[in-house]
A = this chain, B = another copy of it.
Amino acid sequence: MISYAQLKGEKKRVAVVGTGQTKFEARSPEKTYYELALEAALTAINDAGITSRDIDSVVYGIYNDLFERQIMPDTYVHDYLGMYGKSGIRVTTGGATGGYAFRAGYSEVASGLSDVTMVIGVEKAQDCYDWAQGKTTPEVIKSIAYSSDMTWEFPLGTSAASSYAILASAHMKKYGTTEEQAALVSVKNHGNAISNPFAQSPMKITVDDVMQSRMISYPFKMLDCSLYTEGAYALILMSEEKTMRMGIKDPVWVMGIGSSNDKSFTGSRTVKDRMGKYGDIADLRNHYESAVQAYNMAGIQDPEKVIDVAELHDAFSFTEIQAYEAMGFCGRGKGGKFIEDGVPLMNGDLPVSPSGGLLGAGHAVGATGVMQIGEVVNQLRNRAGKRQVEIRSGIGLAHSIGGPGSSYCSVSVMGVD
């Protein structure tokens, strides 16, 4: 893998130079998914100080066809954005769709195929029309259920929550992590969202509120789970050469990208295969692997010392605790203590998910991973408004996961000069 140091030496880095988003909300009945995408795209284009003519290609992060009851939703968005005549690729990798779309967008620019690429995630589902039944009906639950393996898992009734709950239970058993520790993540992220005007679920809550909320899938209670969200987020990526030519003021560089997809069946993640060094079912093995890849590319040895801010994927509160460990922010099994000690709080040494994360800001599937990277970009540019954290090293990290038991994981490390 090429190193960031080499890219920097050759002036061949890739920067994020613009971000834009819609409000994340449970339902946007007055806007089509085209319109959500357009709103985010125009904001990002304005933020970058470019015009849509400067864009060479687009990468779309759109999760699943059933959400829109529309195969190839990207082709209609592409048209609506006025991007005809340019390349448009759709990437879809479950909850990690945004993170992998970013990887594909990075490659588009780093390969030299494009100087400027827009990565845009968009999701909408609640008001899709069921032609068979002749009425409007939500497809969300059905279409997420189709994510589990249709041969072995779907017949057993697995859901997104239950597969992540198994990983959480294993972590509790192996390391003694508690439900109360996980509840602290929920309290933190819903609280952080209060300073994010685009967030879906800003709330001041307590550990007791989480503990007493309705059981969903042990050990997850309602407030441990992110909600379904509609919205869009766009990023403008640009080659270093073009940033110099255009005089971009505060580019945020992609320092490292790592992506590792684990076995699809959580039960087969034993310690006997070649990923065993990263742990077993209690550990998010491919998250460790993705972080190692990203840090190697970025040239980072001590992530816990140099990373100023991170956005971690908290579709479920426990997963953020497991991610502290996998990202190397704390030792293995120490994730629960990490939040008890307050390290990832807004005023802690390594603030995690100032946006509010998926729990607080919302989980608009394809848009989520793009949003997380955008939040890190704005933090590093000191443009995060009321939720700005202190930037010291100028390095941040975004973590995007999805699939059954998080078989997908993509880690992006970003930095400013």
Contacts and interface: CB of A to CB of B under 8 A. Distances in A.
A91 interface: yes
A264 B71 contact: no
A224 interface: no
Nearest to A408: B75
A210 to B, nearest CB: 29
B111 A69 contact: no
A57 to B, nearest CB: 7
A360 interface: no
A218 interface: no
A391 interface: no
A113 B286 CA distance: 17
Contact of A261 (B1, B87, B289): B87
A112 B107 CA distance: 8
B103 A261 contact: no
A89 B93 contact: yes
Contact of A75 (B84, B113, B403): B403
Interface stretch (A22-30, A145-153, A166-174, A349-357): A145-153
A414 to B, nearest CB: 16
A144 to B, nearest CB: 8
Nearest to A2: B112
A407 interface: yes
Contacts of A402: 72
A238 to B, nearest CB: 14
A66 interface: yes
A54 interface: no
B75 A404 contact: yes
A68 interface: yes
A43 interface: no
Contacts of A257: 113
A92 B70 CA distance: 13
How many copies the complex holds: the figure is 2
A126 interface: no
Interface in A34-93: 56-57, 63-66, 68-72, 74-76, 78-79, 83-93
A263 interface: yes
Contacts of A274: 85
A199 interface: no
A111 B106 contact: yes
Kindly name the residue among A2, A71, A114, A154 whose own CB sees the greatest number of chain B CB atoms within 10 A.
A71
A289 to B, nearest CB: 6
A112 B254 CA distance: 13
Interface string A278-291: 00000000100100
Interface string A153-191: 010000000000000000000000000000000000000
Contact of A104 (B32, B63, B64, B89): B89
Interface string A321-341: 000000000000000000000
Contact of A147 (B71, B107, B109, B151): B71
A103 B93 contact: no
A319 B337 CA distance: 63
23 contacts: A2-B111, A68-B150, A70-B146, A70-B150, A72-B403, A72-B404, A74-B93, A76-B149, A76-B264, A78-B264, A79-B265, A84-B261, A85-B261, A85-B262, A85-B274, A85-B286, A87-B100, A87-B260, A88-B261, A89-B93, A91-B104, A107-B108, A128-B150
Given A71-B144, A83-B261, 6 more contacts: A64-B65, A65-B71, A72-B403, A75-B93, A85-B274, A107-B108
